[in-house]
């Protein structure tokens, strides 16, 4: 595993030992970031179900200002911290060992808004409809912000909603499906 593009291009990343996590391959990582926007102009990223942290680290390398990494697996949290330390980017990151839904509640209380939310949970273990509903209800995504959701092909994921629309939905193989949402920009807002 390595960083594909940006400031840290080519740098190697450690993977979480064992079979509890399933890292996104470099080829898929490169494809999805080309779709979402090859480079970012600041903002905060949330890497939920972070595993090794490779997706959030890729976002930092491509221009995100900060990233919050969440995983409930203690080995994953240790590897994320190692990867951040190796790349010398700890000051741009927060790492939490927590259940995803509890983490979302805590983050909402802080009033944070994200330009990018990365969702790559263990396949078949998370209700995507409920997860997206909590993210929407908590107003965690900036207008124009993106949610990347990796899932099994054919897994039920929400269709476009009143605040989100699907910009890309595809199966990369027999085992990987991807849905990318973007938050609608509210046109009639008046700036104070």
Please tell me the predicted confidence (pLDDT) of residue 190.
41
Please tell me the predicted confidence (pLDDT) of residue 73.
94
Please tell me the predicted confidence (pLDDT) of residue 36.
86
Strand order in the sheet with 141-151: 93-97, 66-71, 44-48, 114-119, 141-151, 177-183, 164-171
Please tell me the predicted confidence (pLDDT) of residue 187.
54
Please tell me the predicted confidence (pLDDT) of residue 32.
85
Question: 10-residue block means of pLDDT along the chain (192 residues)?
Answer: 92 82 76 86 96 95 97 96 97 96 95 95 86 94 94 86 90 85 70 43
Domains of the chain: 26-155+175-183 (3.40.50.150)
């Amino acid at each position: 595993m390595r960083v594909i593009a940006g400031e840290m291009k080519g740098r190697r990343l450690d993977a979480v030992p064992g079979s509890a996590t399933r890292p996104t391959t470099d080829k898929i990582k490169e494809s999805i970031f080309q779709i979402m926007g090859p480079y970012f102009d600041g903002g905060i990223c949330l890497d939920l179900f972070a595993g090794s942290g490779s997706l959030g680290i890729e976002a930092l390398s491509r221009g995100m200002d900060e990233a919050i990494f969440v995983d409930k697996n203690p080995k994953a949290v240790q590897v994320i911290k190692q990867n951040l330390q190796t790349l010398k980017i700890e000051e741009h990151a927060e790492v939490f060992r927590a259940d995803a839904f509890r983490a979302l509640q805590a983050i909402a209380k802080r009033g944070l808004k994200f330009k990018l939310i990365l969702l790559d949970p263990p396949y078949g273990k998370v209700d995507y409809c409920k997860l997206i509903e909590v993210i929407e209800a908590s107003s965690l995504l900036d207008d124009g912000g993106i949610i990347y959701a990796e899932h099994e092909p054919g897994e039920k994921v929400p269709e476009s909603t009143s605040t989100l629309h699907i910009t890309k939905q595809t199966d990369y193989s027999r085992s990987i499906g991807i849905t990318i949402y973007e938050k609608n920009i509210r046109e009639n807002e008046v700036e104070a």
